[in-house]
Amino acid sequence: MTTRAGARTLVGVGVGRRAVIGPVVLVRSPAPAPGDAPVLRDGTPVSAGALPGVVADAFAHVHADLADRAARASGSVANVLTATAQIASDPALIAGVQQKIAEGTAPVAAVHAVVDVFVDMFESAGGLLAERVIDLHSVRDRVIAAVLGLPAPGVPELTVPAVVVARDLAPADTAALDLDKVLAIVTELGGPTSHTAIIAGQLGWPCVVQVAGAGDLPDGATVLVDAQSGTIVVDPDPAAVAAVADRAAAEEILAHDNAPATTADGHGVDLLANIGTVADADLAAARTDARTVAGSGLFRTEVLFLNAQQAPTVEEQRREYAAALAAFGDRKVVVRTLDAGADKPLAFATLPDEENPALGVRGYRVRRVHPHLLSDQLTALADAAGEGGTQPWVMAPMIATVAEARAFAADARAAGIGTVGIMIEVPAAALRARDLLHEVDFVSIGTNDLAQYTMATDRLRGELADLLDPWQPAVLELVAQTARAGRELGKPVGVCGESAADPLMALVLVGLGVTSLSMSSGAVPAVRFALRQHTLEQCQAMARAALGADDPSRARRGVVELLEPRAVQLLS
């Protein structure tokens, strides 16, 4: 894509593939309120004795507003709003602020002081807790506004379709956007797995995060946002504008192509949808059919647990699983058992504090501390399958050893699960994939965590996104070794990480021997198009080119050079 000489270009980490052009609307940070700002009601200062009650009312108001938004949302948007609402109702947070006020601290200063303590705790914990710091800040700003009787901070009203630019966006801000007037989202902070990126992916908005200098863009400036390249071009030239229009027209055609997912020479590949809730399942199933999407390759069951104050009963789980299975009818549904732990804390099963939760008790390892959680879940899944007749494929996350794979398979089969698998997310599992596959029926590669553990890089650190690039040769080598083991044993090997949604990477994965790809349903058309333009032999040549490269950019370039000419414009 060309741009006028001297045109300003900002670079970040792209999430998605689309490119759009539109005016900038800046989301400005809330105006700082002094710590000793007076609390007034009808122009009269509130008495010291009444201040704790005013603060409690403010927290309750923020919680009710966020919970109401969550109830009116669906899928990932509802999940992240619910999580933020829970922060606003946290008894420890509220009590801490009230205690500070009782000791003589002004309300605004008290809110800041207690939230700062929680921020330090979350950042020290790392992982997904660190990602929730923005939620804490959002709750803080909303509570302070409610205490002072000011309008709640947030995104300005959008009067025309626009590119929303912010330092960062809290889930509540993102969910409040007018869906018909958002062209793209650009943030200075965040990462490709941040709440903003997740919601943008669900809603089909191109998104670019980690964009240094984005906050300096002037309101109303025309920008080209290209999620595929991770760039923002200010005042793009006519050629760039025309290229975006051509891409949009081509992708619109793809979205209405119902051809089955095969390579040009007829090699079939299951394209599947990632889901987290029954609402996600209903939406994905309604928008697709068995020819275009073969089912779900990743049902993240932890959503049901993370939003609960006590462990869901077997019956509650059975209803949820049965509804998700019913949504897809006879189509395949791959269910991941509870993937929670110190980085995704459970209100009803608190785990010991860990200095490095990404390397701690998470995923299948939670069974060591709370074995009933897994046994109840397996019972519920078997009951749900018996009710509707659809047999789910069930896999465990964070399996590292043959002994763990053997134990999970035994438990699952004893519960009545017919098709049992595991996630390949750590290098140890990939290196011994052949041995692990002797114990189970299939494996699915979670490329997000596999990249994190292979490259020793926190997947939520946006500034380290280059190390987490799925084209990293070491990561590709582990994927290749896993796929080779599946091929030799005649067992399915899927990919359900972000790699599956990249059409170029999809060609490589199929060339390596991967048999299914699971992604957001909106990413399916481009992946299907890529496969249909190339033979299996061409995919295998692309896989060899990627594996032979010594860095991610060379790996990607090597694949682009092998694309069919008719696919270059849309895929490169």
Residues 454-511: tens digit of each pLDDT: 999 876 666 777 888 889 999 999 999 999 999 999 999 999 977 998 999 999 999 9
Q: What does the alpha-carbon distance between residue 321 and residue 278 come to, in Å, rounded to a whole number? A: 8
Q: Give the residue from 20, 473, 60 showing the smallest Cα distance to 251.
A: 20
Number of independent structural domains in the chain: 3
- Kindly state whether residue 169 falls inside one of the protein's structural domains: yes
Q: Which pLDDT belongs to residue 190?
A: 79
Of 207, 496, 534, 539, the catalytic one is 496
Say if CB 426 and CB 400 are below 8 A apart.
yes
- Boundary of a domain, candidates 251, 271, 288: 251
Residues 258-277: tens digit of each pLDDT: 778 899 999 999 999 999 88
Examine the pLDDT at 326 and tell me if it is beyond 70.
Answer: yes
- Kindly state whether residue 1 falls inside one of the protein's structural domains: no
Mark whether 141 and 180 lie in a shared domain. no
Q: Which pLDDT belongs to residue 77?
A: 67
- In the chain, the percentage of residues whose pLDDT exceeds 90 is 54
Is 237 annotated as belonging to a binding site? no
Is 459 annotated as belonging to a binding site? yes
- Kindly state whether residue 181 falls inside one of the protein's structural domains: yes
Residue with the larger pLDDT of the pair 378 and 255: 378
Residues 384-417: tens digit of each pLDDT: 998 877 899 999 999 999 999 999 999 999 999 9
pLDDT-derived band at 70 (thresholds 50, 70, 90) equals confident
Q: Which pLDDT belongs to residue 2?
A: 40
How are beta strands 231-234 and 9-11 bridged, if at all?
antiparallel
Residue with the larger pLDDT of the pair 366 and 193: 366
Q: Give the residue from 505, 495, 483, 499 showing the smallest Cα distance to 560.
A: 505
In the numeric block, the tokens 């067992």 are attached to: 491
Q: What is the average pLDDT across 80-90? A: 84
Give me the CATH number covering residue 133: 1.10.274.10
Mark whether 116 and 166 lie in a shared domain. no
Mark whether 69 and 88 lie in a shared domain. yes
Residue with the larger pLDDT of the pair 549 and 356: 549
Q: Which pLDDT belongs to residue 459?
A: 66
- Kindly state whether residue 93 falls inside one of the protein's structural domains: yes
Mark whether 135 and 166 lie in a shared domain. no
Examine the pLDDT at 163 and tell me if it is beyond 70.
Answer: yes
The Cβ of residue 553 has, within 10 Å, a number of other Cβ atoms equal to 12
Q: What does the alpha-carbon distance between residue 398 and residue 136 come to, in Å, rounded to a whole number? A: 28
Is 449 annotated as belonging to a binding site? yes
Q: What does the alpha-carbon distance between residue 570 and residue 563 come to, in Å, rounded to a whole number? A: 11
Give me the CATH number covering residue 366: 3.20.20.60
Mark whether 285 and 419 lie in a shared domain. yes
- Boundary of a domain, candidates 194, 222, 251: 251
Q: Which pLDDT belongs to residue 229?
A: 86
Examine the pLDDT at 4 and tell me if it is beyond 50.
Answer: no
Of 63, 112, 195, 534, the catalytic one is 195
CA angle (16, 513, 270) in 5-degree steps: 60
Residue with the larger pLDDT of the pair 150 and 480: 480
- Kindly state whether residue 84 falls inside one of the protein's structural domains: yes
Q: Which pLDDT belongs to residue 255?
A: 66
Is 318 annotated as belonging to a binding site? no
Examine the pLDDT at 347 and tell me if it is beyond 80.
Answer: no
pLDDT-derived band at 170 (thresholds 50, 70, 90) equals confident
Q: What is the average pLDDT across 301-317? A: 86
> Rounded to 10 degrees, what is the CA torsion of 339, 343, 349, 353?
140
Mark whether 500 and 361 lie in a shared domain. yes
> Rounded to 10 degrees, what is the CA torsion of 367, 370, 372, 373?
-80
Give me the CATH number covering residue 237: 3.50.30.10
- Kindly state whether residue 142 falls inside one of the protein's structural domains: yes
Mark whether 161 and 205 lie in a shared domain. yes
- Boundary of a domain, candidates 90, 124, 148: 148
Mark whether 503 and 409 lie in a shared domain. yes
Residue with the larger pLDDT of the pair 208 and 309: 208
Mark whether 22 and 91 lie in a shared domain. no
Residue with the larger pLDDT of the pair 49 and 317: 317
- Kindly state whether residue 33 falls inside one of the protein's structural domains: no
Residues 99-119: tens digit of each pLDDT: 999 999 999 999 999 999 988
pLDDT-derived band at 442 (thresholds 50, 70, 90) equals very high
Say if CB 333 and CB 118 are below 8 A apart.
no
Q: What does the alpha-carbon distance between residue 163 and residue 20 come to, in Å, rounded to a whole number? A: 9
Is 131 annotated as belonging to a binding site? no
The residue type at 129: L
Our answer to whether residue 61 is catalytic in this structure is no
The Cβ of residue 30 has, within 10 Å, a number of other Cβ atoms equal to 17
Return the HEC string of 354-382.
CCCHHHCCEHHHHHHCCHHHHHHHHHHHH
Q: Which pLDDT belongs to residue 344?
A: 65
pLDDT-derived band at 57 (thresholds 50, 70, 90) equals very high
Q: Which of 123-132, 216-225, 558-567 has the lowest mean pLDDT?
A: 123-132
Most confident of 148-157, 245-254, 288-297, 315-324: 315-324
Q: Which domain holds residue 230?
A: 9-28+154-251
Determine phi and psi for 560, rounding to 5 degrees.
Answer: -60, -40
Q: What is the average pLDDT across 84-112? A: 91
Q: Give the residue from 538, 556, 531 showing the smallest Cα distance to 546.
A: 556
Mark whether 440 and 565 lie in a shared domain. yes
Examine the pLDDT at 3 and tell me if it is beyond 50.
Answer: no
Q: What does the alpha-carbon distance between residue 118 and residue 122 come to, in Å, rounded to a whole number? A: 6
Mark whether 277 and 293 lie in a shared domain. yes
Residues 505-558: tens digit of each pLDDT: 999 999 999 999 999 887 888 899 999 999 999 999 999 999 999 999 999 999
Q: Which pLDDT belongs to residue 414?
A: 97
Which token pair is 364? 């299948």
Is 554 annotated as belonging to a binding site? no
Q: Which pLDDT belongs to residue 7?
A: 66
Mark whether 199 and 266 lie in a shared domain. no
Our answer to whether residue 496 is catalytic in this structure is yes
Q: Which of 18-22, 34-38, 333-337, 452-456 has the lowest mean pLDDT?
A: 34-38
Determine phi and psi for 11, rounding to 5 degrees.
Answer: -125, 135
- Kindly state whether residue 35 falls inside one of the protein's structural domains: no
